[in-house]
Structure formats: structure tokens, C-alpha cells
Structure 1
Amino acid sequence: MSHNHSHVHIHKHEVQSKNLVYSIVLNLVITIAQLVGGIISGSLALLSDALHNFSDVLSLLFSLLAHKLSRKKATENITFGYKRAELIAAFVNASTLVIVAFILIYGAMERFFYPKPITSGLVIWLAVLGILVNGLSVLFLQKDAEHNINMKSAYLHLLTDMMASVAVLVGGLLMKFYGWYWVDSVMTIGIAIYLIVVGSKLLIQSTKMLMLFTPESIDIKELVKEVHKIPGVKKLHHIHVWNLNDEELHLEAHLDCSQNINMSEFNKLLEQIEHVLFDQFHINHINIQPEFKKEEDSKDTIVQD
């Protein structure tokens, strides 16, 4: 059984792992500062936020590990390498975003009904530190987040932390000058709802990629229609399209040729198909099995293997 497998080479955005390292160091600083501040001020809120930031450090470490693994070369036992490690990291990080959101809502509701006195001055200064640290971390990862789902999950963790620090700052100021302790709970719930929205979206996206769903940007019927316009193509069928990771979009299919051509002629036909699939659908890994009057093979577009 003959297969032709090709790769269309494209310029890839090179994700900078050093930006993750910088973010990890910065978040360790704010975690330690909040831990010390919480102990000194007796603020349970600061201690809880320190724990939250420490969970972000772990998430960033997980993202860094996944990024490093994804760059390891394939072997005979691991033929795809670890390219899907970043998808797993994105799935885990998105899951923790949603879980943390519900924990925040529970804590906010409890604090709303049972408010506790807080040393607002220390809270304000640590909130400013949190905004600066997380804001800088967000800037480090912003560009990479546009190209990589793993980096996007880490970016969202940090962006939410920055927003939480803004909420803590506003809440601290209102508590200091007006005694409005309920503001902290209201803003926390607002941030948690935002966290559920963005976290759920990322969770669904990473789940679809892990489950090898056809990317939303690909219309299989349109793809087949365009390939069928190429002379020499009778029917493209038995099609699978999936993301291996953010950078690699794969297509696997059977191609029923209109004539009994030799391999050199098929290579020319394949080259035309590659250009159509890459230029119009951004598919850069193509594996096509050529056929001619193979009647026992199903000619359905989608076949359950």
C-alpha cells in the first residue's frame, strides 16, 4: 500500500521559554511577599492570595516543562515526539482556571456574609506590587500567547492575577477610606465570572485538539470541492484533519485518481494538492494514499476506522 507524506515548510513563531522563566521568578517574589505580609497583618485574604499565586507558579512551571518537552526529538518509541505536551498543559491550566474561579466565588460569598477586619494599608501596597509583577509577566507572555495555546493558558493565569490585584487595590482603598468591605467580595465574584468564561473557552479548545476534532477553521466539504478542481483527481475520500499542536495541521486521506498514472506523475499531482491545501486551508502536513479503481475501498468522505 503506497502512501505519500509531505511537509510544507512555513515560518514559525519561536516561543521564548525565557519569558516563562522571568514570569516564574516574578511570581515567586509576589508569593513570598504576600505570605510574609499575610502573617504580619493577620490577613487571611493575603494568605489565600499567596496560595493562589503559588498555584500560578506551579502552572507556569508545568507550562515551561511542557514547552521543553515539545522540543524533544521523536524516537522509535515516541514517533511524534512530545509535541502534544503543550496541549495537555493548556488543558490542565484551563481546568485549574475554572476550578479557582469557583473557589473564589465561594470565598467571596462567605466573606460577604461574614466580613473580617483587614489591615488595609498593607493590602494596598501588596496589591500595587501584584499589579506591577503580574503586569510585567503579562507583557512577557503576550506575544507568545497569540501563537501557542500553552502560553495562552499561562498568560490567562497571569492576566487574571493582575485583574485580581487591581480589584484588591480598589477594594483596599474603599475599605480604608469608606469601610466598604463588601466591595472586595463583589469585585472578586466579577473576576471569577470572567475567569470561568475565558477558562471554559480555552478548556473547550484544548479538549477539541486533544480529541483530534476537525479544526473549526476547516470546512471539509469546501476542502474536497477545491481539491476536486485539480485535473487528475477523481475523488478525495477517507479524510482526517486534525491539529497535532498549534504549529502542525495534518491531513490524511485516500485519493482516487482519474487515470492509472505512474509515481512520478502522481508526485506532480500531489504537489498541486499540497499548494491548494496549504494556501487555502493552511494544512502543512499531508499524507495521501493514491488509488485507482480500488472498488473495495469506501469512497465516503468521512470513514470511521
Structure 2
Amino acid sequence: MHNNRVSGGRFLAVTILNVAITIVEIIGGLLSGSLALLSDAFHNLGDSLSIVLGYFAQSIAGRPENHRRTYGYRRAEILAAMLNALFLIVVSVFLIIEAIKHLHHPEHVNGPIMLTVAIVGLLANLISAGLLQGGSHHSLNVRATYLHVLSDALSSVAVILGGLVLTFVNLPWLDPVLTIAVALYIGYEAIPIIHQTLSILMQSAPRLDYDQIKQDLLGIDGVVNLHHVHAWSIDEHRIIFSAHLNCQDMLLSQVEEVYHQAEQILETKYGICHVTIQAECLRGQDEELFDTPPDRQSICE
């Protein structure tokens, strides 16, 4: 299991940087009349809240299993990632609506102020992204927070380009157009995180080669069939797997060896970290991988 966690000190540093950027950009946006700058400021304010949420989610996820949470609290990070990504979508929609309004009623923008503030914002966002970058490869929660900061950096680049142009040329429509472009990018980056977190929360089956798993387990001496298979994810790293194995009539000590071999195959070849196997002799021997026996259907219904 991965343990590349982002320290509380880094989360705090990123939060302080985002709050500072927000204050500077609000002042700069009001002075320059730039919607892109004001939009980026409120985006940064939301980021600060998201970073705090991400930190607390990571702290909660590290708690050990107990009698109430037998799989632990790891899905706290998944929930935080989904909330952060949903917030990004809401921000994107809001920015697009405001930008369209400004396209219909363009306002003069002070290019030099817009440019100066955007450069400060870009530097701070790049530092924040650097602090979070390592953990973004191993945690959806940190990745969502990292994307917040990265989208801010991209937004700052767009605002810098806009500021450069507006310093020399009066193009009132450029500021809202840049805002729409940044908003579309933010939404584009957030959608895959929402999809992945929803799949985990809905206990969708992870992408495994189930036919090959069946062939591998049938290769164990004494195993004659595999059925009633279930697989789901606790988070983006931990896959849970359960199945019924039909075995030849054998001693319990021999069944334990079958368990051991099955667990080794599932862990080393498929990255499954938690395996539950029920051994049976004749019961369910004609069933398919995912078919539920009639007696179980009546109980579940």
C-alpha cells in the first residue's frame, strides 16, 4: 500500500499562499477591472477551503480500523476528492456565466495592474503545486487539491498573456474569453476525478481480467470451479475480492493451502490486498462467475 502522504506543514503552507494570493488578486481585480483576475481570486479562495478539507480528510483516512469501521476511514479522502472536484465544476459554470455577461457588456481593463498581479499569483501557485506534486500521484484527494492549485497556475498564465496584450492593445472581449477558456479547462480536469470517485463510492468492480483470474485459480491443485465473485475498491489503491471456490473433497488443512495459493496469485498478479474465499465441495459447482444462487436471491430480495 502506498504511504506517500503530504505533511500537515505543506498543506498549511499551501493554504497560507492561497489566502495571500486571494487577497492580492481581489485588490488587483478591483483596481484593474479584470473579471479574469477576480474570478481567479475567488477560485483561490475556494482552493484554500479545499486544501483544508483535503488535509482533514487525509488525517481521518489514517485512523485504524475499529468495530464500527472494519475497513477503516480511507474513503474520507475519496469523499473529499469528489467534493473538491464538484466544487471545481461549480466554479467553472459560474466563471463561464459571468464571462458571457462581460462579453455582452465589455469593460475597460487596466493591463499593467492585471499583468503584475497575475505574475505574483503564478509564482505562488507554482510553489504550492510543487509542495503537493509528490502526493498527487498516489491519492485522489491530494490529486484533486493539486488540480485546484494547478488550474490556478494555468489561470494565472492566461491572465498574464491577457495582461500583456491589454497593456498595448484595447481588446475588451479578451478578458472574458480567457476566463471561459480557463473555466473549460478546470471542468475538463475535474470530470475524471468525479467519475473515479463515484465508481469507488458505488462499489463498482475494478478493472480486472476476471476470466484470467478464474483460469489462474482453477490451476490450483484441487480447485474445480470459481463462482459468486465480488470485487470492489475501498480507495484508489485497495481492492477487496471475495469468491466461492469449489474444491475436491479434502481435509481442512489442505484447504488452507488452497487459500494460501489463491491469495498469493491475487495479490502478486492482480494487486488485490484483501481476499475472502469460501470453500465448497458440491454447492454452486455449476454456477458462473457472477451468478447469484436462487436461494441467495430470495434472501436478498
Q: Does TM-score exceed 0.5, indicating one fold?
A: yes
* 1:156 lines up with 2:147 in the alignment: yes
Equivalence map 1:1-305=2 (5 Å):
10=1, 12-18=2-8, 19-41=10-32, 45-216=36-207, 218-262=208-252, 264-295=253-284, 299-303=287-291
Letter in 1 for 2:174: V
SS at match of 1:195: helix
User: Offset at 1:191?
Assistant: 2.1
* Contact 1:41 1:122 (C-alpha < 8 Å) held by counterparts: yes
- Normalising by structure 1, report the TM-score: 0.89
The alignment partner of 2:272 has SS state of coil
Q: Do the aligned residues in 2 keep the contact of 1:20 with 1:60 (CA within 8 Å)? A: yes
1:228 is displaced (CA, Å) by 1.3
1:299 partner amino acid: E
Q: Determine which structure has greater relative contact order: mean sequence separation of CA pairs < 8 Å that are 6+ residues apart, divided by chain length.
A: 1
Per the TM alignment, residue 39 of structure 1 is displaced from its structure 2 partner at its CA by: 4.6
Moved more, 37-46 or 222-231: 37-46
Give the drift of 1:247.
Answer: 2.8
**What residue identity is the alignment partner of 2:255?**
F
- Contact 2:33-2:107 at 8 Å conserved across structures: no
Q: Judge conservation of contact 1:128–1:169 (CA < 8 Å) in 2.
A: yes
| Aligned counterparts of 2:104 and 2:27: Cα–Cα separation in 1 | 27
> Contact 2:35 / 2:176 at 8 angstroms: preserved in 1?
no
Q: After superposition, what is the alpha-carbon deviation per residue over 1:252-285, rounded to whole angstroms, capped at 9, x for unaligned?
A: 11111123231x2222211211121122211111
* Unaligned runs of at least 5 residues, structure 2: 293-299
Do the aligned partners of 1:171 and 1:181 also contact (CA within 8 Å) in 2? no
The count of aligned residue pairs is 292
Cα shift at 1:40: 4.7
CA contact (8 A) 1:244 1:250 kept: yes
Aligned-pair Cα RMSD in Å: 1.9
**Alpha-carbon distance, 1:42 to partner:** 5.6
Counterpart amino acid of residue 191 in structure 2: S
Over the matched positions of the two proteins, sequence identity in percent amounts to: 33
- 3-state SS in 2 of match to 1:290: strand
1:7 aligns with none
In the alignment, the residues of structure 2 paired with residue 271 and residue 104 of structure 1 have an alpha-carbon distance, to the nearest angstrom, of 55
1:298, distance to aligned residue in structure 2 (A): 7.8
TM normalised by structure 2 equals 0.90
Q: What's the counterpart of residue 296 of structure 2?
A: none
Give how far 1:47 is off: 3.6
- Unpaired runs of at least 5, structure 1: 1-9
